[in-house]
Structure 1
Amino acid sequence: MPGRRERTIREPDEPRAGLGRIAAQVRTAYRRERTRAGGDWQAYVSLAGPDGPLVAVDESAEQRVAAYSVNKIAVAAAVLDTVDRGLLALDQRVEVTAELARPGGDGIFGLDGAYPSQVTLGHVLANLLTVSDDAAVRLCALVCPATEVNRILAAKGFPHTQVRPVGDSPRFHLGTSTARETHDLLWALVGGTLLSPGSTEFVLRLLRSPVAYTDGVRRTMSSAERARIATKAGWFGDARHEAGVICDTTGAPRLTYAFFAAGQPGADDFGATHAAVQARARLGRRLLDLTDRLAAREPHSHRPGNSG
């Protein structure tokens, strides 16, 4: 399996008409919201231009942290890589036992109560990436155990984006990543180099869907604006993370972001009133507006060949 290709990412002070000015505005907006929210942040943001990506934010981006549900994107990528190789299929069924769907955590499997039952692997992944179902993680482990997930991710060039095995079982906790690797995984996804065209479209359709996360970056947006953003959040304890891609009105990816935040007040607040979540909501509105300005100023050559 080929490793990740090296990419040259230009620094934001390089003279580049329009793009450099907007990168500076993105950086200013991020610093304002990070300071306002307080706590400890790791972040990586880039803008896509005619010559490739330009880094706008790079703060502690190589620091390895618990990624929580943001790593569900990586889990889905590993499962879909196995689908792409013909070893699994989205329409194959998995057994949902009462133990696997036990109440607790996020999602809807634990609310059902009608077990044992069966669902398709596609249904599992849809719940994993939209309502962020924790039971879906356990179901993914039935077909792609921890050792295989980690092997696939490392082979694709993401050695710090790894799940944590649970004993000798195939089960796993969601593990770690860095802001840089999470960003790069998303960049590879929209660029069509992470998965097959069909699997790429599947992931982006789920992450951009109306039932995907709306408390953070997408909160103060219209339905049409939300549909332009593929995003995934993760939270546990005092950590509030989010990562995704903002597209222009034609569907071309313009801005890729990874925000990991922890240490703010309100560790028991998992709603929209948490300081880091409010910061991402304000930042999301600003980033979308800047993305529109970027799209109006210069043509764009990097776009997925398989997403809407």
Structure 2
Amino acid sequence: MTFRMDRRTALGLGTVATAGAVFGTAMPAAADPTEEATTGLDRDRVAARIAAAYQRESTRAGGNWQAYVSLTGPDGPLVTVSESADRRIEAYSVNKIAVAVAVLDKVDRGLLTLDHQVEVTQAIVVPGGDGIFSLDGAYPSLVTVGHVLANLLTVSDDTAVRLCGLVCPAAEVNQILVAKGFPNTQVQPVANPNRFFLGTSTPRETHDLLRALVGGTLLSATSTDLVLRLLRSPVAFTDGVRREMSSAERARVATKAGWFADARHEAGVIFDTAGAPLVTYALFADGQAGADDFGATHPAVQARARWGRRVMDLTAGLGGSGATHRRHTYRPSNGG
């Protein structure tokens, strides 16, 4: 019990006004606050229960966790989890959102268009990496920037990163992100100025970047809609937060995962049924067992799946705040 209370302090639960009541005299000491009904609860109590669910699942998965999670409210976001939130770490493919933001910033400024074509050569393809370009086998070919971004943010295509570098070099990506207020969210340049490793971020900066995106202060309305449409699409990442959800629920979650070696990260936004942002999360994890398991059975990925389902249930009936982002209707096709 002492460990759980100490870790609760580390999670930053003191930032939630009623956290002490939720975990103290408001219910029996032996009760699990995440298992009680949430009907009629105020946002402070829901926020505390989201934090308790995170504590339980991250402890169960083990390893190291760095996270920052908030629940929107009428007076601004309630911070529900803050664990090593300002630790600068390798973000891996979660930073593909930041790369897309830099490219779309150039589109917004009229320096680039989505139908601009880039050449896919055999030399630029990442062999064996995630995505579809490495599976194609027919090069050289031409694709548009829009096609590149679609693959970057849905199937997390690694070659798409290099293609983005052709239109937005590493130094420019970093300059754009610094100008937008994200000095720790940076790609790592290499000798070739058009190539880079995906670099670093912090849980707080990744969270704040997502908040700025849904708040409409990061990109134009058109570019914002494009990013969210891709991150909420049925082909976006489904093994983590969205795994235990219906198709309608998944469409309410914009999410991006990143993985390399023993790290398993995910960040995104859960929207209410009207399309207003409700929960914003950045969950970074490493050091768990199963470094060679990049599937849904990895402990950290399983933890995010259980946490995502719990958060969806806890926030049922709650409304978000801020600009709404409509869900694009999913229409399966049988060809023809």
What CA distance in whole angstroms lies between the structure 2 residues aligned with 1:113 and 1:236?
24
Measured after TM superposition, the shift of residue 293 of structure 1 is 3.9
Q: List alignment gaps of at least 5 residues for structure 1.
A: 1-9
Residues 1:233 and 2:257 aligned together: yes
Mapped contact 1:22–1:294 kept (Cα < 8 A): no
Instruction: For residue 174 of structure 1, give the secondary structure of its aligned residue in structure 2.
Output: strand
Which segment drifts farther, 166-175 or 76-85?
A: 166-175
Which segment drifts farther, 96-105 or 277-286?
A: 96-105
Q: Give 2:334's aligned residue.
A: none
Instruction: For residue 161 of structure 2, give the secondary structure of its aligned residue in structure 1.
Output: helix
What CA distance in whole angstroms lies between the structure 1 residues aligned with 2:325 and 2:274?
12
Instruction: For residue 131 of structure 2, give the secondary structure of its aligned residue in structure 1.
Output: coil
Query: How do 1:255-270 and structure 2 match up within 5 A?
Result: 255-270=279-294
Q: Give 2:36's aligned residue.
A: none
Q: Give 2:203's aligned residue.
A: 179
What CA distance in whole angstroms lies between the structure 1 residues aligned with 2:221 and 2:315?
25
Q: Give 1:213's aligned residue.
A: 237
Measured after TM superposition, the shift of residue 11 of structure 1 is 2.7
What CA distance in whole angstroms lies between the structure 1 residues aligned with 2:68 and 2:315?
16
> So what's the TM-score if we normalise by structure 2?
0.85
Q: Give 2:331's aligned residue.
A: none
Query: How do 1:73-92 and structure 2 match up within 5 A?
Result: 73-92=97-116
Instruction: For residue 184 of structure 1, give the secondary structure of its aligned residue in structure 2.
Output: helix
Mapped contact 1:200–1:307 kept (Cα < 8 A): no
Q: Give 2:50's aligned residue.
A: 26
Q: Give 1:146's aligned residue.
A: 170
What CA distance in whole angstroms lies between the structure 2 residues aligned with 1:224 and 1:196?
26
Instruction: For residue 215 of structure 1, give the secondary structure of its aligned residue in structure 2.
Output: coil
**1:169-199 CA-partner distances (Å, limit 9, x unpaired):** 3210000000000000000000000000000
Which residue identity is paired with 2:209?
L
Q: Which has the higher contact order (CA 8 A, sep 6+)?
A: 1
Greater Rg, structure 1 or structure 2? 2
What CA distance in whole angstroms lies between the structure 2 residues aligned with 1:128 and 1:209?
13
Instruction: For residue 292 of structure 1, give the secondary structure of its aligned residue in structure 2.
Output: coil
Q: Give 2:6's aligned residue.
A: none
Q: List alignment gaps of at least 5 residues for structure 2.
A: 1-13, 20-40, 329-336
Aligned length: 295
Measured after TM superposition, the shift of residue 305 of structure 1 is 6.3
Measured after TM superposition, the shift of residue 294 of structure 1 is 2.6
Please, what is the CA RMSD of the aligned residues? 1.6
Measured after TM superposition, the shift of residue 18 of structure 1 is 0.7
Q: What percent of counterpart residues are identical?
A: 72
Which residue identity is paired with 1:40?
N
Measured after TM superposition, the shift of residue 101 of structure 1 is 1.6
Which residue identity is paired with 2:147?
H
Measured after TM superposition, the shift of residue 50 of structure 1 is 1.1
> So what's the TM-score if we normalise by structure 1?
0.93
Measured after TM superposition, the shift of residue 103 of structure 1 is 1.8
